Structure 1
Amino acid sequence: MASVTSPTTTTKEIVVDISPYIRVFNDGTVERPLQSAIEPVPPLLHDPQSGISSKDVVISCNPTISARLYLPKITNQTEKVPILVYFHGGAFFTGSALCQLFHNHFNNFVPQVNVMVVSVEYRLAPENPLPACYDDCWDALKWVSSHHDNNITNKEPWLIEHGDFKKVFIGGDSAGGNIVHNIAMRAGTEALPCGVKILGAFLSHPFFCGSQPIGSEPLGHGHMAWNLVYPNAPGGVDNPFIKPLAEGAPSLSKLGCSRILVCVAGKDQLRDRGILYYEAVKKSGWQGELELFEEKEEDHVYHVIQPQSENANKLFKRLALFMLQ
């Protein structure tokens, strides 16, 4: 009589736990306990209070890239305003350009700064490991730049009618600030469509790390997140994508923009890396205008979390000067 072998069962176990943001299981499934915080909220074609308008656009179906556009109040139909291509934060594995947090942020930001915002919805890790998000954000910037030619297909009227392509900026917070650096580096060696150049880049509380802590940075800060989102990164947490000053990293003198503003917060664990980055760019031989802004009594991405606060408004005014001067 043949023996019968009972099927083995595998217990579902957590292999990565970065509570309360993400849990990854041994069967490959991913849970985001705060998923409701990144659920999309609808855009508003005309906000009667602020006068700004927002809408969602599809940039690419393969891969899936979209964006939420914000247009400031336009009083003259021929008016042109600077274009800000924005990359949201969330450690590369959470967050959304379409969620309430960033929608509130830009509803407060846009009326004060008077720029058109293209807030990019890029693919998240670990389902789409890095460098996927860098490629998505570069493709989004190329899509924006291509509107300098009025004859393009898949065109967006707001960009053509109101975008000033002599004043294209990129910006982002936390992981988005990291993306800003890497997009600016790519722009230093690879041309954008229609001859468009990045005029300026701002990095708000950028997510950088390395194998050796600096300043008051905790040992291992950011390592678990980086290893989750880019498990095959050459050099691990000393990869140039996350550690711009790594041995063998491309020179910061190749940054492809004319202005850079680095923003840090005094109580933020990422503060010292941001200062180090600022100092390194200053010493690199890069031929642009470099500025540093610090809010000493605030913590990480305070301006996104509380966009109506006094210090958030102070930062918005500083960004307005940076983009409108």
Structure 2
Amino acid sequence: MVSENEVQTELLPFLRVYKNGTVERLYKPELAPPSSTETSGDNGVWSKDTIISPDVSARIYLPKYTTNKLLPILVYFHGGGFCIESAFSTLCHQYINTITSQANVIVVSVEYRLAPEYPLPIAYEDSWTALQWVATHSKHGPEPWLVQHGDFNRLYIGGDSAGANVSHHMAMRAGKEELHGGVKIHGMFLSHPHFWGSKPLGSEAVSDRETSLLYRTWMLVYPNAPGGIDNPSINPFVKNAPCLAGLACKRLLVCVASVDELRDRGVRYYDVVKESEWKGELIMFEVEGEGHGFHICNPKTENAKEMFERLARFLQD
């Protein structure tokens, strides 16, 4: 008999899974309310929550001072290893407020379902549902902010960490399946992308890879992944992974941080795209002396401000 208190997996300090299937979430992000048009807004930004499907929701951001000029649209996917964080968390809300304000874009920040309760590929399917929902507004749709203010010729996708991984998969899928209304992805940014593999790259540690947090997280969030940590979902460089020339976007910005454990994976991604037959505009941006997700956790530092400015320029072009 399995004891109710017998632990199967721990990803400390984030969550604990018991052998009876119970998930104890030790990390519970503080949630922030949206800033409606009836309030002053955050950083000159209004936001509201919407239901996309029974399983998928989002927070939509609109610059307060809009003109008759249509605005670029960013579909954003948050990070958190596919198992923590939220589009509605205070950290994510503050981050997207800053991007919306500085880049003067409409942002749809997607709330996808999390593992281990909803293992991958569910997050990918939820994110595709959200992206298709946004695309429907090129013709008609229930969300007036997108219909009235969105420029569907400048549709961007992007994310941080696991959200960057999701963005990659959305761009690859869009190369095989058409978005509603024939909408095309104009650009994509991958910030500190969450990729990994069994064989170390660059300065990555050679030993103890199967006991690392990255390995254990992947095996928790996608336990049935063929190939495990070398599944193309997490390792886009394995032999059976789709060619990155299939990325369905015209512009790509890859952001890395010099002391991020995932830095070399981001650089390899940039190099592999550059060496492929992909024909778009490719940009690498590296911040020295910073770690993973520094701009989200410490948004007021000078390096974070530089990061925001780079993202804003990319989304404005």
**TM-score category by the smaller chain?**
over 0.9
Whether 2:31 is the aligned partner of 1:17: answer: no
The 5-angstrom pairing of residues 75-114 of structure 1 reads 75-76=66-67, 78-114=68-104
Identity %: 52
Instruction: Quote the residue 2:32 is aligned against.
Output: 41
The structure whose Rg is larger is 1
Distance 1:9 1:138, change over 3 A: closer
Deviation per CA, 1:98-147, whole angstroms, max 9, x where unpaired?
Answer: 01110111222221111111000000001111000001101100000000
Find the residue that maps to 2:93 and give its secondary structure: helix
Whether 2:60 is the aligned partner of 1:69: answer: yes
Instruction: Quote the residue 1:5 is aligned against.
Output: none
| TM superposition shift of 1:9 | 6.7
Computed over aligned residues only, the root mean square deviation of the Cα atoms, in angstroms, reads 1.3
User: Counterparts of 1:72 and 1:161 in 2: how far apart (Å)?
Assistant: 13
Q: Which letter maps to 1:180?
A: S
Conservation of the 8 A alpha-carbon contact between 2:161 and 2:293: yes
The 5-angstrom pairing of residues 1-325 of structure 1 reads 10-35=3-28, 37=29, 39-45=30-36, 46-48=39-41, 50-61=43-54, 64-76=55-67, 78-150=68-140, 152=141, 155-218=142-205, 219=207, 220=209, 221=212, 222-325=214-317
User: Counterparts of 1:75 and 1:229 in 2: how far apart (Å)?
Assistant: 40
Distance 1:50 1:137, change over 3 A: same
Conservation of the 8 A alpha-carbon contact between 2:81 and 2:161: yes
Distance 1:28 1:157, change over 3 A: same
User: Counterparts of 1:42 and 1:75 in 2: how far apart (Å)?
Assistant: 22
Find the residue that maps to 2:151 and give its secondary structure: strand
| TM superposition shift of 1:214 | 1.4
Where do 5+ consecutive residues of structure 2 fail to align? none
| TM superposition shift of 1:310 | 1.6
Name which of structure 1's ranges 298-307 and 224-233 shifts more when overlaid on structure 2: 298-307
Give TM-score scaled by structure 1 length: 0.92
User: Counterparts of 1:263 and 1:81 in 2: how far apart (Å)?
Assistant: 23
| TM superposition shift of 1:49 | 5.8
Conservation of the 8 A alpha-carbon contact between 1:88 and 1:95: yes
Distance 1:32 1:49, change over 3 A: closer
User: Counterparts of 2:215 and 2:103 in 1: how far apart (Å)?
Assistant: 35
Aligned residue pairs: how many? 310
Q: Which letter maps to 2:58?
A: A
Conservation of the 8 A alpha-carbon contact between 1:109 and 1:307: no
| TM superposition shift of 1:312 | 1.5
* 4+ residue segments displaced more than 3 Å: 46-49
Conservation of the 8 A alpha-carbon contact between 2:99 and 2:312: no
User: Counterparts of 1:231 and 1:40 in 2: how far apart (Å)?
Assistant: 29
User: Counterparts of 1:10 and 1:136 in 2: how far apart (Å)?
Assistant: 34
| TM superposition shift of 1:320 | 1.7
Find the residue that maps to 1:60 and give its secondary structure: coil
Find the residue that maps to 2:51 and give its secondary structure: strand
User: Counterparts of 2:302 and 2:27 in 1: how far apart (Å)?
Assistant: 27
Distance 1:285 1:25, change over 3 A: same
Conservation of the 8 A alpha-carbon contact between 1:24 and 1:31: yes
Instruction: Quote the residue 1:4 is aligned against.
Output: none
User: Counterparts of 2:162 and 2:42 in 1: how far apart (Å)?
Assistant: 31
| TM superposition shift of 1:279 | 0.3
Q: Which letter maps to 1:254?
A: G
